[in-house]
Amino acid sequence: MPHHWFWWILTATCVVWYSTITVYVSIKGAADIKNMLKRLDATREREEALDREG
């Protein structure tokens, strides 16, 4: 291992970076999906109200 310290550090850095990006994208994606579903529900309710009116 003493001869490969550079590759160990590079690999660990890449794994940490990849994990951070994955968690960030997952959180932002979940928030976007939540907002999208909320907007779709509001649109559906608005269309149903218009249909009932006439």
pLDDT tens digits, one per residue of 4-54: 999 999 999 999 999 999 999 999 999 999 999 999 999 999 999 888 887
Q: What is the pLDDT of residue 3?
A: 80
Bigger pLDDT: 54 or 3? Answer: 3
Q: What is the CA radius of gyration of the chain?
A: 23
pTM of the model: 0.68
Confidence at residue 1, expressed as pLDDT on a 0 to 100 scale: 61
DSSP string, 1-52: -GGGHHHHHHHHHHHHHHHHHHHHHHHHHHHHHHHHHHHHHHHHHHHHHHHH
Residue 32 confidence (pLDDT): 98
pLDDT of residue 42: 95
